[in-house]
Structure 1
Amino acid sequence: MRTTLSVTRIGHACQLIDIGGIRVLTDPWFTQAATYYPGEPVASTVAALGPVDAVVVSHEHYDHCDLDALVAGGFDLGTPLIGPGTVAAIARDKGFRDIRVVEAWEAATVGDLTVTAAPGKHGVHEVTFVIQAGGRTVFFGGDSLRVPELDTIPDRFGPLDLAILPVNGLCIRPLHLQQVVMDAEEAAGLTAALQPALAIPQHYAFHSGRLGDRMITKGDRDPRHYADAVARIAPRIPVRLVLPGTPVEVR
């Protein structure tokens, strides 16, 4: 019998991935700040998550590394937390006790779970992740730009069951609209290279508030642009647009 695989999007890039009962929380974000708005309901509180076997964090930006919310919500700080060195330093300060540092192509194991960091590129140091257990393989793209090394993932790890990719093409206005996240077309191109059994977009509802959207950030908040691009570039790959809190089973 094939190992079960499901994913529930909590919101933004915060996902709860379940591989045969092994539960992995990605890029936690549960709160809101002056220029960080989820733009959609957050589907769970920290307390309601239930048991989590590992946390993976791609980089230190607040909307991906909301460790204060985990601490305040009573999260078990003995849970293994996996991420790059920049994240590890923050996690230690917050009281996490089992921190696994991984940089590109380095792996950490938690029981039957293997998490391998893959390259990423963003406004700060970032890694992406290949998450494996029970013969299942998931790629989690954080909010990275598309970098050429990501195209090699199927050659390194074999077929992918699921790819979760950012799609909003976020640009920073004070930096002359410097792009820091892959956009819908770039994410669709990566999807075609990865050839997952299923693709799910993330990191699109976020916004910076009425003033922040005019002064700080610019992004595409419509995930249908990604779905349309995949349908055009890689029509055999199914895409699911998922509301927060909706579990998706990957067959």
Structure 2
Amino acid sequence: MIQAPTIPVRITHIGGPTVLIEIGPLRILTDPTFDPAGTRYVDGPYELVKKTDPARFPSEIGEVHTVLLSHDQHIDNLDSAGRAFLSQVKQVLTTPVGAQRLEKNAQGVPTWETVTLSGINHLHVRVTSTPARHGPPELEDAMGDVTGWILEWEGQQHGALYVSGDTVLFEALHEIPQRFQVGTVLLHFGAAADPEVLGPVHLTFSAGEGSLFAKALGKAMVIPIHYEGWAHLSEGRAEIEEAFAKAGLEDQLCFLPFGQSVRIDV
């Protein structure tokens, strides 16, 4: 049996949830956030403050074929400059309700449904929407719909590439390793929180949850994202490293240098 040739993959962490994924000639961007450091956003009782510049601004990104948008309703996943950037790409995949709000080039993908990206040098990448819950169940309606993504293509060496989106650890996530062999994970950490408004809860993976889920995924390499750059993120690199060390999973943890394109064996 002839194996499909390995396709080179490069990943660039631009900051927060924003990552450029290059699968051969196909260029995919997640959750575009490009506003400068110091930008403040007020929405009712919530105030979000951006603390760092993106490692690359839109003019430094180059052509992007598809944006994978976990959700459109929160500024730390789609800020003002990121929203403007959407008009430059052919296709935006997101939640069905998000696609209704964005219109134009946005396509909603219901949970567990698959869209195939194709047409570039005969490369076909299957993108499947995965469950996500942006906080505890009592806040699900307030936080709105969110999705993660599984990316598969012929020639993967270690399994699918999984992008979690903004989610906490909950029961539906354990269906992912039952359906897919996952080899690489872009996991949204940070334990996002607003205790003055929401109380003692978090809205994205805590370091401890991330280590537990990494165990459930087997030997997948975990690349942390969404753990810095915003004032409401309550945990950073130190907490993630500590939790993975305690779980004996430090060898599976891979922090990417910001703004640098890194070859990843997927």
Distance 1:103 1:149 in 2: 14
- CA-CA distance at 1:121 after TM superposition: 0.4
Asked if structure 1 preserves the Cα contact closer than 8 Å seen for 2:40 and 2:50, the reply is no
Task: Determine whether 1:110 maps to 2:127.
Answer: no
What is the DSSP-based 3-state SS (H/G/I as helix, E as strand, rest coil) of the residue aligned with 2:210? helix
Instruction: Tell me which residue corresponds to 1:155.
Output: 178
Instruction: Tell me which residue corresponds to 1:213.
Output: none
Distance 2:172 2:34 in 1: 31
Task: Determine whether 1:142 maps to 2:154.
Answer: no
Task: Determine whether 1:81 maps to 2:85.
Answer: no
Distance 2:251 2:82 in 1: 35
Distance 1:176 1:199 in 2: 29
- CA-CA distance at 1:236 after TM superposition: 6.9
Which among 30, 37, 42 is matched to residue 34 of structure 2?
Answer: 30
Asked if structure 2 preserves the Cα contact closer than 8 Å seen for 1:28 and 1:65, the reply is yes
Asked if structure 1 preserves the Cα contact closer than 8 Å seen for 2:227 and 2:237, the reply is yes
Asked if structure 2 preserves the Cα contact closer than 8 Å seen for 1:161 and 1:250, the reply is no
Query: Equivalences for 1:60-209 in 2 at 5 Å?
Result: 60=72, 61-66=74-79, 68-70=80-82, 72=84, 75-77=87-89, 79-92=90-103, 96-97=104-105, 99-111=106-118, 112-122=124-134, 123-136=143-156, 137-158=160-181, 160-173=182-195, 174-208=197-231
What is the DSSP-based 3-state SS (H/G/I as helix, E as strand, rest coil) of the residue aligned with 2:88? coil
What is the DSSP-based 3-state SS (H/G/I as helix, E as strand, rest coil) of the residue aligned with 2:228? coil
What is the DSSP-based 3-state SS (H/G/I as helix, E as strand, rest coil) of the residue aligned with 2:242? helix
CA gap 1:243/1:50 in 2 versus in 1, 3 angstroms: same
Asked if structure 2 preserves the Cα contact closer than 8 Å seen for 1:164 and 1:202, the reply is yes
Which among 241, 251, 255 is matched to residue 241 of structure 1?
Answer: 255
What is the DSSP-based 3-state SS (H/G/I as helix, E as strand, rest coil) of the residue aligned with 1:130? strand
Which among 40, 45, 66 is matched to residue 52 of structure 2?
Answer: 40
Question: 1:132-152 CA deviation, whole Å, 9 max, x = no partner?
Answer: 233432111122111222223
Distance 2:199 2:116 in 1: 41
The alignment's TM-score, normalised by the length of structure 1, stands at: 0.84
Q: Which runs of 5+ in 1 are unaligned?
A: 209-216
What is the DSSP-based 3-state SS (H/G/I as helix, E as strand, rest coil) of the residue aligned with 1:105? coil
- CA-CA distance at 1:231 after TM superposition: 2.9
Task: Determine whether 1:54 maps to 2:66.
Answer: yes
Asked if structure 2 preserves the Cα contact closer than 8 Å seen for 1:41 and 1:244, the reply is no
Q: Which runs of 5+ in 2 are unaligned?
A: 42-46, 119-123, 135-142
Asked if structure 2 preserves the Cα contact closer than 8 Å seen for 1:58 and 1:128, the reply is yes
The alignment's TM-score, normalised by the length of structure 2, stands at: 0.80
CA gap 1:196/1:3 in 2 versus in 1, 3 angstroms: farther
Alignment coverage as a number of residue pairs: 235
Asked if structure 2 preserves the Cα contact closer than 8 Å seen for 1:192 and 1:234, the reply is no
